[in-house]
Amino acid sequence: MAAAFPKFCYDSRLADATPAASTTAAGYNVLNLRDWRPYTWWKPTAIPATVTVDCGSSKAADYFAVYGHDLFSRGCTIECRKSTDNFAANDVLVATKTPTDDSPFVIEFTSTSARYWRLRITTGAPPVLAIAAIGAILTLPRRLQNGFDPLRREVRGTVHRSEDGHPLGRVLTYEAWTQDLQILVDWTWLRATWVPAWKAHLRGTPFLFAWDLTDHPAELYLVQAGEAFSAPHTIGPYADLSLTISGVSL
Amino acid sequence: MPTLPSNATRDAARVAHERKLSIIAEVDLDRCSNVYGVTPCTAGRVESGTAQAGAARTITLRSGASAVDGVFVPMTVRIVSGTGSGQERRLGGYVGATKVATLAADAADFSPTPNATSVYDIINRPVACYNTRINCQDKPNYVKGMHTYKFCLRGAPFPPGEAVRPYIMQADAALTIIDPEAGLARRNSLRLTLTDEPDSDVEQDPYATDRTTPAGSTFWRRLVARNPNTAGRFVRVRRGYVLAPWDWATFLDELYIIDRLDGPYGEGQISLTLKDPIKLTDRTQVPVATDGKLALDLKAYAHQGTVVSAGATTAILPETASGADDAYNGMELYITNALGAGQRRTISDYAGPTRTATVPAWDVVPGSSSDYEISALSIQVGSGKGTQYADPATSGKREFVRIGEEIVEYTAKSTDTMSWASSALRAQFGSERKDHPTASQVQLCRAFIAQPVTTVVRALLEEGGIAATYIDTAALTEIEVHWYGEPFAVTCCVSQPETASALLSDLLPQISAVMWWSVQTQKAVLVPVMPRLTTPIAWTDAAQFIEDSVAVNTLEELRITYAAMYYGIINATSNRNEAKNYGLGEIVIDTDSEGANEYGDRRTAITYSRWFGASNQIAMRAFVGRQIAARRDAPRSIQARLDPKDYTLPAGELVDITTRALVDSAGAPLTTRCLITKIADAGTHIEVELRTTGFTRRYGFIAPDATADYPTNTVYAHIAQNTGLMTNGDAGYLTI
């Protein structure tokens, strides 16, 4: 199995306050970036384009992510920047990404804090972005246990044969991706980290799940948690945390 | 042969071994084209004037502006003219003493900065409307525009950059089923079940970011509250296949109107019921109902008698005529026999004491034995009622009214008065001339005089509420030329309001035609149920029918041995369902099938036609013959499923099927020519229903000039030898 621990990307500085876009095409509101819906979009009208948020106070982040975009097709580079003075004199490049395809991505960086955060698109033609986040990533304390099957798909559709038995074709509606996550965690982590994250976001709002950002960064899924998680006590100071997550396969 | 709209991209995607399905519904709802508070919309402007000064992040309002701190926060300032015109910024502060308004922290700087030439409005956007009529705050300036909401199947891919909500949980289609006996097919119906969710409201609310509090509730609940008048709005259902990159060329669009929007239900779901536009013909009557009533008696004859004497411009009537001056002014004096018979003159003056009628000069002065009739030439229908009646001067057609049991043609209309040029225009369409008392109802009629039958069909559609753009007029013209023509010309009067759909359902079976709404071509389609010149596409067990999907039913109830057509209605106001009211009839009896060696019973199909008369005898004779030919043996109905690769034909087309479900006496699959009565895209497969036809054998068509002789040419009819066989021994053609 891979070296990295599974990660949840849900925390976002764009949710701390109303983000402001440098430009916005009609019908592509910048608020769509933070709604965790892959079917609502933001689109600037000119490049460079920025989305800036004033968090009100210094806030930390160690990743930025984009899900649903055509940055590659539009020839864009996207930057994550921070500032202490709303980018007047202080404008620090934190991370940058020039996509090589239009797949979703997460870029991790060393945790840093600032009051003002910004995504900046520097080259190319105006792209569309569905979901963007800058925030603190939630990393599970261990790797996933046996049974996790990251490549499995549930195909919704039908396969047709003729009355004489000849193949006629296959029609897909979509491919679902559903996983039952199970991991042994200690009670301290469960209470201090997991439960607040569950209450703040995970139980009701979609999030990005990366089971191995190091070796398989492309296997990134926008998922929704099942109705509840369970964490029965097990040997020692541990609980057996399990939950179901589901989304659409890539 | 008509096929579904397609292109190379769609065809390639359709026949691929693996296809990824997409269904996207585009719902067009009303949205005001104006912007809240921006001219011409006057709503929400709480302060206007010329700025005293401006800077990158401030604007100093006029000296008379409010002295209350913060009163304009978080409203929007808009520079409407002068320097900086067109800029809008949200305000974050206002000092009443100095009149300085400061921009909100997340607002961009003014550029260019306003100055003392800048005229501004302060717009209270937090209380703005939602750009729909129901919450409009400036209705005189409401301009109906449109916003399209898009929805796709849950979990299905959608085009990048387009707001397509994955809300469709289920799509239940009840598409057209063509029924040759009914003529007008069942209306297409599609019910979409859509889920609901909380939502940021930025798509529905153009001013969502200006509100001080986020919208409550959910997407559909808010949409229903803001759009109560969704019925009748258009919906396009786009069905296609997902390609990378996305390509709309793979999609086939279906057009519907919203019939109803129900919900939300307990789990927050919405049901959107869509119908095809032919539904409108169920709601519209032809002719339109009118409620005018006679203001005065209308007698069959105001007076009848024998002329006492006559001069060049006069006629002296007998003592039995009215003694009142002017009693017959404006009426017609008609000499019915003897000297001067056939002359009609309008009485310009009538002297009661002398019984003298003054008329325009006679061509032949009537004699003392000339009989006459005096008749009114106009009616009045009550004040203000005249607008309900068509004016023949502008309607482009002859106009008739029904009074009691009499139909009268009127040739002119003036306000509430309808008049006719001659008393010969009374008692039309076989009706009887009678007395009608005051307050008798006057109903507008819809008459067709020697009209091509496809013209009648088109008129019924248009008068039934179907816009001309949704009628395939080119196809109607072609059908008229190839199949109907003069033998089917219609002369008929519809003297009472009936729904347009009822009239079409009455007429279409009598011309062996079916009509339905093609959701794909987005037109009302008329197709005669007749053989085609071209050989149909073949569907077989090997290559088209999905495993275990073929089922066959025998439509025993449709079998007939006796077909009768009664036509030439004697009186257009009489009961249409009694043979005695018709002057003409055609009957065909298949004695073979009635015989003991065959079915041994009599099954009748009787048709009464108000549309056709003596001039249609050839067509009526053919009609009953075709009925027997098509139904002497019970038709069979076949249900099956196809893979989407074979979704190329629309309903109404013919297809040759070969399946083990239909075999000959030796048990071999029997190729059978069928009419597609239903074909519906169910997403993962195509549902079809077929009806067997009698068209499997050879049929003759009238050939164009210079067509080659038989057997070089076998498409068109060639006269057989007296043996019934062609010169090479082939079977002769059947002409229908």
DSSP designation for B70: T
Touching check for B645 and chain A: CB below 8 Å? yes
Best of B15, B90, B103, B106 to disrupt the A interface by mutation (most A CBs within 10 Å)?
B106
Query: Which residue does chain B place closest to A39, by CA atoms?
Result: B163
**What residues pair up with B197 in beta bridges, in sequence order?**
none
pLDDT band at residue B329, thresholds of 50, 70 and 90? very high
CA distance, residue B241 to nearest chain A CA (Å) = 9
From A17, A68, A168, residue closest to B645, measured CB to CB? A168
Query: Which residue does chain A place closest to B148, by CA atoms?
Result: A27
From B161, B544, B549, residue closest to A41, measured CB to CB? B161
Structure tokens at A119: 């995504």
**Beta carbons of B202 and A32 less than 8 Å apart:** yes
Altogether, the residues listed in chain A come to a count of: 250
User: CA of A95: how far to CAs of A92, A133, B209, B488, in Å?
Assistant: 9, 13, 29, 79
Q: Hey, is B584 helix, strand or coil?
A: strand
pLDDT in tens, B77-135: 999 999 999 999 999 999 999 999 999 988 889 999 999 999 999 999 999 999 999 99
Are the CB atoms for B373 and B304 separated by under 8 Å? Answer: yes
DSSP designation for B66: -
Touching check for B685 and chain A: CB below 8 Å? yes
Query: Counting one residue from A and one from B, how many pairs have CB atoms under 8 Å apart?
Result: 129
pLDDT at B292: 96
Tokens 């411009």 belong to B313
pLDDT at A2: 47
Beta carbons within 8 Å of B75's beta carbon, 6+ residues apart: B46, B90, B91, B122, B123, B124, B125, B126
Residue B1 has pLDDT above 70, yes or no: no
pLDDT at A248: 81
Are the CB atoms for B558 and B25 separated by under 8 Å? Answer: no
**Beta carbons of A128 and B166 less than 8 Å apart:** no
**B166 contact residues in A (CB cutoff 8 A):** 39
CA distance, residue B196 to nearest chain A CA (Å) = 14
Tokens 């008065």 belong to B417
User: CA of A100: how far to CAs of A75, A121, B23, B611, in Å?
Assistant: 9, 15, 30, 71
Touching check for B21 and chain A: CB below 8 Å? yes
Structure tokens at B630: 């098509």
**Beta carbons of B544 and A169 less than 8 Å apart:** no
CA B266, B270, B271, B273 torsion-angle sign: positive
Q: What is the 3-state secondary structure (H, E, C) of chain A?
A: CCCCCCEEECCCHHHCCCCEECCCCCCCCHHHHHCCCCCCCECCCCCCEEEEEEEEEEEEEEEEEEEEECCCCCCCCEEEEEECCCCCCCCEEEEEECCCCCCCEEEEEEEEEEEEEEEEECCCCCCCEEEEEEECCEECCCCCCCCCCCCCCEEEEEEEEECCCCEEEEEEEEEEEEEEEEEEEEHHHHHHHHHHHHHHHHCCCCEEEECCCCCCCCCEEEEEECCCCECCECCCCEEEEEEEEEEECC
Query: Which residue does chain A place closest to B108, by CA atoms?
Result: A22
Tokens 């963007």 belong to A132
From A17, A31, A68, residue closest to B200, measured CB to CB? A31
Best of B15, B20, B201 to disrupt the A interface by mutation (most A CBs within 10 Å)?
B20
**What is the rounded distance in angstroms from the CA atom of residue B457 to the CA atom of residue B473?**
10
CA distance, residue B290 to nearest chain A CA (Å) = 48
CA B376, B377, B383, B386 torsion-angle sign: positive
Beta carbons within 8 Å of B272's beta carbon, 6+ residues apart: B25, B27, B191, B192, B193, B194, B235, B258, B260, B261
The whole model's pTM is what? 0.78
Are the CB atoms for B462 and B397 separated by under 8 Å? Answer: no
**What residues pair up with A50 in beta bridges, in sequence order?**
A120
Tokens 């199947």 belong to B153
User: CA of B521: how far to CAs of A40, B254, B655, in Å?
Assistant: 31, 8, 20
**Beta carbons of A157 and B684 less than 8 Å apart:** yes
Query: Which residue does chain A place closest to B153, by CA atoms?
Result: A173
**What is the rounded distance in angstroms from the CA atom of residue A186 to the CA atom of residue A188?**
5
**What is the rounded distance in angstroms from the CA atom of residue A225 to the CA atom of residue A243?**
7
**Beta carbons of A172 and B550 less than 8 Å apart:** no
Altogether, the residues listed in chain B come to a count of: 736
pLDDT in tens, B668-725: 999 999 999 999 888 889 999 999 987 655 566 666 667 787 778 776 666 667 777 7
Q: CB atoms < 10 A from the CB of A76, how many?
A: 23
**A41 contact residues in B (CB cutoff 8 A):** 161-163
Residues in chain A where the model's pLDDT stays below 70: 1-3, 250
pLDDT at A1: 45
CA distance, residue B144 to nearest chain A CA (Å) = 18
Nearest Cα residue to B401 out of B281, B292, B285: B292
**What residues pair up with A135 in beta bridges, in sequence order?**
A63
**What is the rounded distance in angstroms from the CA atom of residue B531 to the CA atom of residue B535?**
10
Phi, psi of B392 (to 5 degrees): -60, -20
CA distance, residue A165 to nearest chain B CA (Å) = 7
Are the CB atoms for B569 and B582 separated by under 8 Å? Answer: yes
- Confirm whether the ipTM is greater than 0.85: no
Touching check for B472 and chain A: CB below 8 Å? no
Phi, psi of B243 (to 5 degrees): -120, 160
The distance in angstroms from the start CA to the end CA of chain A is 21
Q: CB atoms < 10 A from the CB of A228, how many?
A: 9
User: CA of B145: how far to CAs of A201, B94, B142, B361, B687, in Å?
Assistant: 38, 35, 9, 64, 37
Judged by average pLDDT, the poorest of A8-12, A191-195, B378-382, B646-650 is B646-650
pLDDT at B394: 96
Q: Within 13 Å of residue B674, how many CA atoms lie on the same side as its CB?
A: 31
**Beta carbons of B683 and A173 less than 8 Å apart:** yes
Touching check for B107 and chain A: CB below 8 Å? yes
pLDDT band at residue B405, thresholds of 50, 70 and 90? very high
Which stretches of chain A sit within 8 Å of chain B by CB?
Answer: 17-20, 22, 27-29, 31-32, 35, 39-41, 43, 52, 54, 68-70, 73, 102, 128, 156-158, 160-174, 176, 248
Tokens 């499995």 belong to A152
**What is the rounded distance in angstroms from the CA atom of residue A118 to the CA atom of residue B39?**
35
pLDDT at B735: 60
**What is the rounded distance in angstroms from the CA atom of residue A28 to the CA atom of residue A7?**
29
Residue B529 has pLDDT above 80, yes or no: yes
User: What is the pLDDT of chain B when averaged over all its residues?
Assistant: 92
Nearest Cα residue to B192 out of B271, B269, B277, B275: B271
CA distance, residue B618 to nearest chain A CA (Å) = 45
Residue B251 has pLDDT above 80, yes or no: yes
pLDDT at B734: 64
pLDDT in tens, B415-442: 999 999 999 999 999 999 999 999 999 9
**What is the rounded distance in angstroms from the CA atom of residue B402 to the CA atom of residue B427?**
9
User: CA of A134: how far to CAs of A64, A96, A106, A137, B338, in Å?
Assistant: 4, 12, 10, 9, 108
Q: Which amino acid does the sequence have at B217?
A: S
CA distance, residue B212 to nearest chain A CA (Å) = 12
pLDDT in tens, B439-468: 999 999 999 999 999 999 999 999 999 999
Query: Which residue does chain A place closest to B245, by CA atoms?
Result: A73
Q: Hey, is B362 helix, strand or coil?
A: coil
**What is the rounded distance in angstroms from the CA atom of residue B178 to the CA atom of residue B187?**
10
Query: Which residue does chain A place closest to B542, by CA atoms?
Result: A164
Burial B71-82 (b: 16+ CB within 10 A, else e): bbbbbbbbbbeb
Over its C-alpha atoms, chain B yields an Rg (Å, rounded) of 36
